[in-house]
Chains A and B, each alone.
Chain A
Amino acid sequence: MRRESGKLLLSVDAEEVFLPVVTAFVEKAASCFGLRTDESLRLTLAAEEVFIYLCRKTTYSGGPLQIACSNGGYFAQAVFSLPTDSFDLKAFNVTAAISLEDDAELDSMGLVIASRSVDRFTLGREKGGELRLTLIKEKSYPPLPSQVEPAVTAALSRPILRSPAPEEIKFISRLAVSYYDTCALSDILLHPGKLTDMITAGEYDCLAAAGESGEIGGAIFWRRLGENMVECFGPYVFNQPTPSAISEDLVDGCIGAVARSTAVGIINIGPPPGFPGGRFELLGTFDSYGPDRTSTAVEAWFRMLSEDTGATVWVHPDLDAFIRREYARLVLPREIRVDRPSGETLPHHSVLCAEFDRPRGRVTLRPMWPGADAAENIMRHLKLMKTENIPDIHFAVDLGQAWQTVFIPGLLGSGFEPRFVLPYAGKGDVVVFQHGVNRQ
């Protein structure tokens, strides 16, 4: 075991005899990172399931397996990494043991059990080809009380934009709940302690519009989303005259803060009322599910941070009309190459990686490997999500990777609908599908 840049690392052979070492390592690490005992145990349980699964699925014993535990401020995570060549890729599907005809095997699936124990569970393959399973358990934070006393602020004449102090972040949460319906707020604002930790950990950034005496007239938040994207939340404006320039100033401040970063675009999903849409482009809408599983349509807004230098995309004929319509509407210069499997030999088994976000009732699936069973694999995943009571199922297809077109017929045939194109969100543009099961 060694420590490297804030991480605790364990290198262990993939043999079940080492299971106690793994569980002790993850449990102690989670405890040191501030998780409560019950939270640590849930992360440990997930790690145990994953380790056993990997031991049984690696193609040779003694495989070099790395486990990295790290403190994300508001969460602890355990990341399992192993080289691709030591693992049967087919087994990387969370549905690997699922039969479409038989439900009996569901409970015996280690990866599914692991996903239930944590808040976020991601299976993916890194750039270098390494397989990576990430388990994230968040700390518990008290929500804002349902009856929040209005947090008063005054109209500001010449607000300045600045990063808020930690105590101001919690105050911003109270202001937000005072001036907005909670359904119009990003859920990051509903747990002020968590929000403070997320900003302190550097996962989120915030700009506040403040007066000389410390009055807060508004705020905007953002975070990195993958390599190419920034996601922003807000702007939220409190008790200011209408129309207020604060909203536009906050958006400009946020865009300015990331304009010279590696991000190529910025997205805002479900912005609050008063959002200055003129600075963005409407990509489309999708359904968002509340805790009671009722859905509401939310808008996805986007803007590029630089000039578009064009790109080539690979599109299945069944998606061609949608893609051309969207590119024409968004005036995106693309060379569209229509492509479909044409009898060439495909691997027998496709692989999908899954990103579970249990608190939001959402899973996002992404193709990891093509295969002749693409349509069937999608159906298996849908069946699993139904069993797991996950209503919000997204599927992201990267148009920069021709091999992903093999999934399109299966998606369209199983009730997925293309909702919008997110430019440069992957190797190329990404089409976001959502399963339309609740929208008959």
Chain B
Amino acid sequence: MTSFPGLERLVPDYVKSFEVYIPSKPDDELKKLYGCSKLYRLNNNENPLGPPETARRALQAFDPAQASIYPSGDCYHLRRKLGDIFGMRPDQFLAGNGANEVIGFAIKAFCRQGDNIITADKTFAVYEWVARFSGFEARLVPLVDYGFDAPGMIERIDERTKLVFVCNPNNPTGSWWDQRTLRWFLDRVDGRCIVVVDEAYREFVENPDFPDSMALIANYPNLVVFRTFSKMYGLAGLRIGYLAGSKEVVDIIRRTCVVYSVNTLAQVGAFSALDDREHVARTRESVSSGKGFLLKELGLMGLPCVHGEGNFVMTRLPISDSLAYRKMMTRGVMVRTMTGFRFPNWIRITVSHREALEAFAEALSKILREGREF
């Protein structure tokens, strides 16, 4: 017998139809569950080099006594530093408890009942999730050749479209819009809605044609850029990300944000991470080398790959990705299944350090051999 018979009546239909996100269990539990003594995490696109040296030192120097003091409610120092780096005003930035939180801020700020957001069908799921569990329509435009379809998205915009989310580079395909494409898109949108460009993996990109979105904000006040400290800066465990936009747009989004949601340690780590001059270059070098190794190994196994910018590679398997996940786990390698990204039978592999990638290649090769023998 339920303890709350009236609960059903209180829950909106759009919440009833929504799935609970079940995160992975902690590593110690997973190792016990799958019977492996070691676990290589190649599932979350974390940086195997960890945080920059400057951030490590700042975190080590953190006085535990400070834990009793509330953090800066609006990440005061961090926003000033970001302003200095990008040549913008501090009030053009808004930090959140990971970039996921700022997605929620943006949707809450602009959408009301009957509105819609537009994004791709095969991309980072959180734009679609947040829209749907908030009761708004998520219009999904199919990728074209694994990339965001700019004309297709323009076609779907109507008077109730409030936000368009472009993941650039796209997670999980690595495809990206160059400066020309982004400008073309912003011109066609012509200020009718907010254009969010999620640049979670931007720091991994070396190609000079990649758009300078921060600079474009001056010309396109409806452009909002998301960045995170979870990927390149290795601070995923502290949960901190931010958005940047024109002052008037950020002022609106700030009204829906939760102040004090970014803890002090995260602010300290992020602030200091931006001072490191070598970390980005070292990570890019590591990713480049690791990606080369990974692509060669997957090629030897005869598996088709999709990759572009970012510290990840996607490959298609001849077996179910969820089965492959379980088999890989028994060998101590954790990958990301891609069914949830609507790429059944694909897995995404984080370009990690060589030892992890070698363990991955060995495990996958054995699994595929077993499958053929079976």
B10-44 residues at the A interface, CB under 8 angstroms: 17-20, 22, 24-25, 29-30, 33-34
Contacts of A261 in B (CB 8 A): 17, 19
Given contacts A307-B24, A307-B337, contact A128 B1 (CB under 8 A): yes
Q: Kindly state whether residue B121 has any CB partner on chain A within 8 Å.
A: yes
User: Do residues A307 and B34 form an inter-chain contact, with CB atoms below 8 A?
Assistant: no
A99-156 residues at the B interface, CB under 8 angstroms: 127-129
Contact with A along B152-184 (1 / 0, CB 8 A): 000000000000000000000000000000000
**Minimum distance in angstroms from B231 CB to a CB of chain A:** 20
Interface stretch, picked from A176-184, A215-223, A273-281, A316-324, is A273-281
Interface stretch, picked from B195-203, B248-256, B325-333, B349-357, is B325-333
Contacts of B343 in A (CB 8 A): 256
**Minimum distance in angstroms from A50 CB to a CB of chain B:** 23
Contact among B33, B121, B322 for A306, CB-based, below 8 A:
B322
State A280–B322 Cα separation when bound (angstroms).
Answer: 9
Q: Kindly state whether residue B288 has any CB partner on chain A within 8 Å.
A: no
**Minimum distance in angstroms from A324 CB to a CB of chain B:** 14
State A251–B343 Cα separation when bound (angstroms).
Answer: 11
User: Do residues A279 and B18 form an inter-chain contact, with CB atoms below 8 A?
Assistant: no
Q: Kindly state whether residue A332 has any CB partner on chain B within 8 Å.
A: yes
Q: Kindly state whether residue A309 has any CB partner on chain B within 8 Å.
A: yes
State A303–B341 Cα separation when bound (angstroms).
Answer: 15
A261-281 residues at the B interface, CB under 8 angstroms: 261-262, 278-281
B-side interface size class: 35 or more
Contacts of B344 in A (CB 8 A): 251-252, 255-256, 259, 279, 303
Q: Kindly state whether residue B2 has any CB partner on chain A within 8 Å.
A: yes
Given contacts A259-B339, A259-B342, contact A303 B18 (CB under 8 A): no
User: Do residues B345 and A332 form an inter-chain contact, with CB atoms below 8 A?
Assistant: no
State A280–B339 Cα separation when bound (angstroms).
Answer: 12
Contact among B25, B33, B345 for A279, CB-based, below 8 A:
B345
Identify the closest chain A residue to B344 (Cβ): A255
State A308–B334 Cα separation when bound (angstroms).
Answer: 12
User: Do residues A262 and B322 form an inter-chain contact, with CB atoms below 8 A?
Assistant: no
Contact with B along A311-344 (1 / 0, CB 8 A): 0000000000000000000111101000000000
User: Do residues B340 and A306 form an inter-chain contact, with CB atoms below 8 A?
Assistant: yes
User: Do residues A260 and B325 form an inter-chain contact, with CB atoms below 8 A?
Assistant: no
State A251–B33 Cα separation when bound (angstroms).
Answer: 30
Contact among B24, B339, B345 for A278, CB-based, below 8 A:
B345
Q: Kindly state whether residue A310 has any CB partner on chain B within 8 Å.
A: yes
Identify the closest chain A residue to B132 (Cβ): A260
Given contacts A128-B1, A252-B344, A308-B325, contact A281 B17 (CB under 8 A): no
Q: Kindly state whether residue B323 has any CB partner on chain A within 8 Å.
A: yes
User: Do residues B322 and A308 form an inter-chain contact, with CB atoms below 8 A?
Assistant: yes
User: Do residues B322 and A305 form an inter-chain contact, with CB atoms below 8 A?
Assistant: yes
**Minimum distance in angstroms from B60 CB to a CB of chain A:** 34
User: Do residues B337 and A260 form an inter-chain contact, with CB atoms below 8 A?
Assistant: no
Q: Kindly state whether residue A375 has any CB partner on chain B within 8 Å.
A: no
Contacts of B330 in A (CB 8 A): 331
**Minimum distance in angstroms from B100 CB to a CB of chain A:** 16
Identify the closest chain B residue to A84 (Cβ): B1
**Minimum distance in angstroms from A223 CB to a CB of chain B:** 15
**Binding site secondary structure of chain B:** loop
A175-212 residues at the B interface, CB under 8 angstroms: none
User: Do residues B34 and A306 form an inter-chain contact, with CB atoms below 8 A?
Assistant: no
Contact among A255, A280, A306, A335 for B22, CB-based, below 8 A:
A306
Contacts of B20 in A (CB 8 A): 262
Contacts of B339 in A (CB 8 A): 255, 259, 303-306
State A308–B326 Cα separation when bound (angstroms).
Answer: 7
Best-surrounded residue of A278, A279, A307 (most CB of chain B within 10 A): A307
Q: Kindly state whether residue B5 has any CB partner on chain A within 8 Å.
A: yes
**Minimum distance in angstroms from B3 CB to a CB of chain A:** 10
User: Do residues A280 and B320 form an inter-chain contact, with CB atoms below 8 A?
Assistant: yes
Contacts of B33 in A (CB 8 A): 310, 333, 335
User: Do residues B340 and A128 form an inter-chain contact, with CB atoms below 8 A?
Assistant: no
Contact with B along A233-272 (1 / 0, CB 8 A): 0000000000000000001100110011110000000000
User: Do residues B1 and A331 form an inter-chain contact, with CB atoms below 8 A?
Assistant: no
Q: Kindly state whether residue B318 has any CB partner on chain A within 8 Å.
A: yes
User: Do residues A307 and B325 form an inter-chain contact, with CB atoms below 8 A?
Assistant: yes
Contacts of A305 in B (CB 8 A): 322, 339-340
Identify the closest chain A residue to B340 (Cβ): A259
Q: Kindly state whether residue B281 has any CB partner on chain A within 8 Å.
A: no
Q: Kindly state whether residue B125 has any CB partner on chain A within 8 Å.
A: yes
B121-139 residues at the A interface, CB under 8 angstroms: 121-122, 125, 128-129
Identify the closest chain A residue to B22 (Cβ): A309
Contacts of B337 in A (CB 8 A): 306-307
User: Do residues B342 and A310 form an inter-chain contact, with CB atoms below 8 A?
Assistant: no
Identify the closest chain A residue to B318 (Cβ): A278
State A252–B121 Cα separation when bound (angstroms).
Answer: 13
Contact among A128, A256, A308, A309 for B2, CB-based, below 8 A:
A128
Contacts of B128 in A (CB 8 A): 260
Q: Kindly state whether residue B319 has any CB partner on chain A within 8 Å.
A: yes
Contact with B along A276-290 (1 / 0, CB 8 A): 001111000000000
Instruction: Known pairs A304-B323, A307-B325, A310-B29; list 12 more (Cβ under 8 Å).
Output: A251-B344, A260-B340, A262-B19, A279-B320, A280-B320, A303-B344, A304-B339, A305-B322, A307-B24, A309-B24, A309-B25, A333-B326
Hey, which bits of chain A sit against chain B, CB under 8 A?
84, 127-129, 251-252, 255-256, 259-262, 278-281, 303-310, 330-333, 335
Question: Which 8 residue pairs of A and B lie closest in terms of their CB atoms, listed nearest first?
Answer: A256-B342, A304-B322, A129-B1, A262-B19, A255-B344, A310-B33, A331-B326, A333-B33
Hey, which bits of chain B sit against chain A, CB under 8 A?
1-2, 5, 17-20, 22, 24-25, 29-30, 33-34, 121-122, 125, 128-129, 318-320, 322-323, 325-327, 329-330, 337, 339-345
Q: Could you pull out 21 A-B pairs where Cβ atoms are within 8 angstroms?
A: A127-B2, A128-B2, A128-B5, A255-B339, A256-B121, A256-B122, A256-B343, A260-B128, A261-B19, A279-B344, A303-B322, A303-B323, A303-B344, A304-B322, A305-B322, A306-B340, A307-B24, A307-B322, A307-B337, A309-B22, A331-B330
